[in-house]
Chains A and B, each alone.
Chain A
Amino acid sequence: MTSWLTSFPQLSDSLLRALQRSIDNGFRSFTRSYGDLIEGFFSPLQTLLIWFERLLLGTPWPVILLVVAGLAWGASRSLRVVIGSVLTLVLIGLFGMWADTMKTISMVLAATLLSIAIGLPLGVLMARSARVQRVVSPILDIMQTMPSFVYLIPVVMLLGIGRVPGLIAVVIYALPPMIRLTNLGIRQVDPEVLEATDAFGSSAWQKLVKAQLPLALPTIMAGINQTIMMALAMVVIASMIGVQGLGQPVLRAISNQYFTLGLFNGFAIVGIAILFDRISQAWGKRLQKHREASHD
């Protein structure tokens, strides 16, 4: 009587084991029969990733520094941001982490581009239809709360270890804020402005391109910023499934208790996170200069 109350009545062990085994077997046979097909489907990503990596590693470092300085200036028009960005990269290089950093940056850039390419249209769709929002919202909740190690398992089973499964894991993790903030940004556009565009006979596409997207841009930029930050965080975890870059030394540092190695690489990640954040935020702000203009 008491044991019935203190231990929760659960399904019998044999039933649970059978259930797990049948799901595992089912997925395994799915992997066996469709694995190649799916790998083929994702192979363009491999090309993209390798191209990015070669670009960043093949370019002489002074050119990279110049390009970053140029981007920082173009986005922020602030000397402080430019000097900070260049200094961060110089320090990373001096401490011997240049190649790993370039690999990480190429991974983050590829993941961000992919997230925008998927997230922007999905966010627009979600903003246009309450039904799509009802379906997509809970999926995003799952993507954001599911421990990332858990969805690494099926990705690895399907695609093995390497860059592409790593990229997919990063995108799954980094995509939700892009979708959510695009949706939010478009839904927040002043309905009176939209009514005006309707009254002048705008088509749905004209309304989207000429009013909704530009007015949602600050929110969308915040989404891109979030996506970059989350991609950076995930790149370290994805090193467990063979993603190269700053995550691998961290992983090695954990298993061998190399405190300094972990600290250096950790700081390098923080450094490029701040660099990405400042540049993308400054750019987002400059895109809405009409808002800063005050009435005199």
Chain B
Amino acid sequence: MTDPIGIEIRNLYKIFGANPQAHVAAVRAGMTKAELQARHGHVLGLSDINIQIAPGSIQVIMGLSGSGKSTLIRHINRLIEPTAGEIVIEGRNVVGMSKDELREFRRHRTAMVFQKFGLLPHRTVLDNAAYGLEVQGMAEAERYRTAMRWIERVGLSGFEKSYPSQLSGGMQQRVGLARALANDAPILLMDEAYSALDPLIRYDMQTVLLDLQQEVRKTIVFITHDLDEALRIGDRIALLRDGSVIQQGTAQDIVLRPADDYVANFVQHVDRGKVLKVGAVMLAQHGFDALPEASIATDASIAEALQQMAANRLQALRVQDPQGQTIGVIPFQDAINAYTGSVEANP
């Protein structure tokens, strides 16, 4: 397996229209999307995007339709050409690659999963899963062996001779996932991969992805418009609106400290009890003379902490890291405040 590699997106701009280069300077100087549209008839797709994605992490890019999220992910493997900016992967700027270099890069460094699956309808599940390897020029026996392993891993054993049209949406996306994973590329791009699936199957597929990630440690860029999905799987989340990043950080950051009213509005319907972790709300242990007896893990949710305190009529819990060290305290009132969002929970 290849080691995970990071992605650095620097000052990325995308302008759609007849002569995009002519308007980069104006946009850099602060021209808004509406102004550009009205005055020059060009559409501002992405504006000054800067995102650093750590190796082996899941970066969620989230936004409503038209926010530019699908445009952004297509810049990482240059399915869309940027107007200005850099995408640096392994010290190389993807934007500057020649056609041949780009093809090699796509064959070996990235793999992609699509919202509408993008499977080849005339090929069996097995031949679809092996497509990336086939394009790389791998011999048939070897690519079938690898593809079979991933078909089994995503739970499609017995369907390898079926055609995509014979499978349900969820199963088709498993084929898409198997095809991407078979490539063994360190970067996995998932463009609204689960948006076309119904909620139960979506949850199921999220679990599949999180389980797989424990094993394969890819650098995953995951596009979604679903906040619950973003909060569940994202190590970090970038919120996109009108082609600009309006906030980025962990799920805790975004729920506890929304950058503006737009984000606050977005997160107000979130189940805070499930999303917020004890570790993000706890107080440092100084100032507590008598530490509470009962303890809870730092990555447990607020809801779990409240449940435990309510069940045992406790006023506070000790917070322990995975090694069993006490690292803080969570009082009942703070947990309630964090849960309701009424007071800034962690001053």
A interface list, Cβ under 8 A from B: 192-193, 195-203, 206, 210-211, 214-215, 217, 288, 290-291, 293-296
A278 to chain B, nearest CB (A): 23
Q: How far is the CA of A210 from the CA of B105 in the complex (A)?
A: 20
Q: List the 4 shortest-distance A-B pairs measured between CB atoms, nearest first.
A: A196-B118, A201-B107, A201-B106, A290-B163
Please name all residues of chain A whose beta carbon is closer than 8 Å to the beta carbon of B164 when the two chains form the complex.
290
Chain B residues contacting A206 (CB-CB under 8 Å) are 135
Whether B165 contacts A291 by the Cβ 8 Å rule is yes
* In the assembled complex, B111 has its CB within 8 A of some CB on chain A: yes
- Most chain A C-beta atoms within 10 Å of own C-beta, residue among B111, B119, B120: B120
Asked if A215 and B122 sit within 8 Å, CB to CB, the answer is yes
Within 8 A of A (CB), among B162-194: 162-168, 179, 183, 189
Residues of A within 8 A of B135 (CB): 197, 200-203, 206, 210
**Which of A192, A200, A202, A294 meets B111, CB within 8 Å?**
A200
Provide the residues of chain B in CB contact with A193, threshold 8 Å.
Answer: 118-121
Decide yes or no whether B79 CB sits under 8 A from chain A.
Answer: yes
Please name all residues of chain B whose beta carbon is closer than 8 Å to the beta carbon of A199 when the two chains form the complex: 77, 79, 106, 110-112, 114, 118, 189
Cβ of B131 within 8 Å of any chain A Cβ, yes or no, is yes
User: For residue B162, which residue of chain A has the nearest CB?
Assistant: A293
Q: How many A-B residue pairs have CB under 8 A?
A: 83
Cross-chain pairs A/B with CB under 8 angstroms, 7 sampled: A199-B118, A200-B112, A201-B135, A202-B135, A215-B122, A290-B123, A293-B162
How many Å lie between the Cα of A294 and that of B110 in the bound state?
32
Cross-chain contact B106 with A288 (CB below 8 angstroms): no
Given A290-B163, A293-B163, A295-B168: A214 and B122 interface contact (C-beta under 8 Å):
yes
Interface 1/0 per residue, B103-147 and A, CB below 8 Å: 111111011101010111111000000011011100000000000
The distance in angstroms between the C-alpha atoms of A291 and B120, with both chains bound, is 12
In angstroms, how far is the closest chain B Cβ from the Cβ of A213?
10
Whether the pair A200, B122 counts as a contact (CB closer than 8 A) is: no
| Closest chain B CB from A54 CB (angstroms) | 38
With A196-B112, A196-B118, A291-B121 in contact, is A201–B136 under 8 Å at CB? Answer: yes
Which B residues lie at the A interface, using CB under 8 A? 77, 79, 103-108, 110-112, 114, 116, 118-123, 131-132, 134-136, 162-168, 179, 183, 189
Q: Select from chain A the residue with minimum beta-carbon distance to B118.
A: A196
- In the complex, A202 Cα to B119 Cα: how many Å? 14
Residue numbers in B under 8 Å from A293 (CB-CB): 162-163, 165-166
B16 to chain A, nearest CB (A): 17
Bound CA–CA A197/B179 (angstroms): 11
With CB as the reference atom, state the residue of chain B lying closest to A215. Answer: B122
Query: For chain A, what secondary structure do more than half of its interface residues adopt (helix, strand, loop), or is it mixed?
Result: helix
Q: A192-B114, A198-B79, A296-B166 are in contact. Are A290 and B131 (CB under 8 A)?
A: no
What are the residues of chain B within 8 A of A296 when measuring CB–CB?
Answer: 166
How far does the alpha carbon of A38 sit from the alpha carbon of B164 in the complex, in Å?
51
A160 to B206, CA, bound (A): 73
Provide the residues of chain B in CB contact with A217, threshold 8 Å.
122
Considering residues A203, A214, A215, A295, which has the most beta carbons from chain B within 10 angstroms of its beta carbon?
A295
In the assembly, what is the distance between CA of A294 and CA of B122, in Å? Answer: 13
Contact of B166 with A295 in the complex, beta carbons under 8 Å: yes
Whether A288 contacts B122 by the Cβ 8 Å rule is yes
Q: How far is the CA of A212 from the CA of B108 in the complex (A)?
A: 23
| Contact indicator B165/A195 (Cβ below 8 Å) | no
B115: nearest chain-A partner, CB-CB: A192
With contacts A201-B135, A203-B103 known, is A210 near B120, CB below 8 A? yes
Q: For the complex, what is the distance from the CA of A196 to the CA of B120, rounded to whole Å?
A: 9
Report B-chain residues with C-beta under 8 Å of the C-beta of A200: 106-107, 111-112, 131-132, 135, 179, 183
CB nearest to B164 among chain A residues: A290
Question: A198-B79, A293-B165, A295-B168 are known contacts. Are A192 and B120 too (CB-CB below 8 A)?
Answer: no
Question: Which B-chain residue is minimally distant from A203 (CB atoms)?
Answer: B103
Q: In the complex, what residues of A have CB within 8 A of residue B107's CB?
A: 200-201
Q: Measured between C-beta atoms, what is the minimum distance from A203 to chain B in Å?
A: 6
Check B79 against A290 for contact (C-beta < 8 Å).
no
CB-based nearest A residue for B133: A200
Known pairs A200-B131, A201-B135; A294 contacts B165 (CB<8 A) = yes
**Contact for A290 among B104, B105, B121, CB less than 8 A:** B121
Judge whether B104 and A201 touch: CB under 8 Å. yes
Contact A290 B106 (CB under 8 A): no
Contact residues in A for B79 (Cβ distance below 8 Å): 195, 198-199
Taken together as a complex, chains A and B put the C-alpha atoms of A200 and B123 apart, in Å, by 16
Complex Cα distance A210/B128, Å? Answer: 11
Q: Which residues of B contact A203 (CB under 8 A)?
A: 103, 135
Is the CB–CB distance between B165 and A211 below 8 Å?
Answer: no
Which residues on the A side are within 8 Å of B105 (C-beta)? 201
